[in-house]
Amino acid sequence: MIVLEGICTILGLVQGVLVAINKRSNWIFYIIQMFGLLIFSFLNHLYGDVANNAFYLVIGIIGFMRWGKEEKSQITICKWRERVIYIGVLTIATFLVFSFLKNTDDPLPLIDSFTTVSSFVATYYMVMKKIDTWIIWFINDILYVIEYFMLPNQAVMLGVLNIVWTGLAVYSFINWRRLMKKGVSIS
């Protein structure tokens, strides 16, 4: 399990840096990491994360294809109405997922529920190149740090990875905002 955790951590670091600097190749590392995290989550009974990672395999392919289209490569910001909608989705869906996970052997059903839902929302906005993705990822990554350190068999490397990702979310927000103001496309 420690080898799998290490491989996923390295893949996640590479992917995180590549997405922060707006490289399309981030999606390749993302897809490979999702295979590893799918197995890791299943072995740790984090069923929300299993669903996340299976979904992400598909999203990774879509992200790779979408980021390759020049007309869809501009970074934009969510309008207030869209923000209200995604906050509502985060709230309602978290409690729906929690109502299911609390009846399983998931050791942290509420945190797992929120990180599951917020990961879906943040990934969607990352594919759509919305700067709001980094706000959602920031909150998500902090909760993943807590989740991984609270597991009965702590996932220290993945916890540290999420600490790094928290910093990368801040950097990415600043960098994407700068690029958005310049009208620079993602490469």
Q: How many domains, the chain?
A: 1
Closest CA to 150 of 121, 115, 104, 177: 115
Per-residue model confidence (pLDDT) at position 141? 95
pLDDT tens figures, 68-104: 876 667 889 999 999 999 999 999 999 999 999 999 9
Residue 82 lies in a domain: yes
Residue 49 lies in a domain: yes
CB 171: neighbour CB atoms within 10 A?
A: 15
Mean per-residue pLDDT, 29-55? 88
Per-residue model confidence (pLDDT) at position 74? 82
Domain range for 160:
2-182
| pLDDT tier at 183, thresholds 50, 70, 90 | confident
pTM value?
0.82
Residue by residue, what is the 3-state secondary structure of the chain?
Answer: CHHHHHHHHHHHHHHHHHHHCCCCCHHHHHHHHHHHHHHHHHHCCCHHHHHHHHHHHHHHHHHHHHHCCHHHCECECCCHHHHHHHHHHHHHHHHHHHHHHCCCCCCCHHHHHHHHHHHHHHHHHHHCCECCHHHHHHHHHHHHHHHHHHCCCCCHHHHHHHHHHHHHHHHHHHHHHHHHHHCCECC
Contact 119, 12 (CB under 8 A): no
**170 or 74, which is more confident?**
170
Per-residue model confidence (pLDDT) at position 187? 57
Per-residue model confidence (pLDDT) at position 185? 64
- Does residue 186 register a pLDDT over 70? no
**φ/ψ bin of 183: left (φ > 0), alpha (ψ from -120 to 50), beta (otherwise):** left
- Does residue 163 register a pLDDT over 90? yes
Contact 106, 126 (CB under 8 A): no
Residue 84 lies in a domain: yes
Mean per-residue pLDDT, 135-140? 97
Closest CA to 50 of 119, 110, 3: 119
What gap in Å lies between CA 157 and CA 164, rounded to an integer? Answer: 11
Residue 187 lies in a domain: no
Per-residue model confidence (pLDDT) at position 71? 60
Per-residue model confidence (pLDDT) at position 51? 83
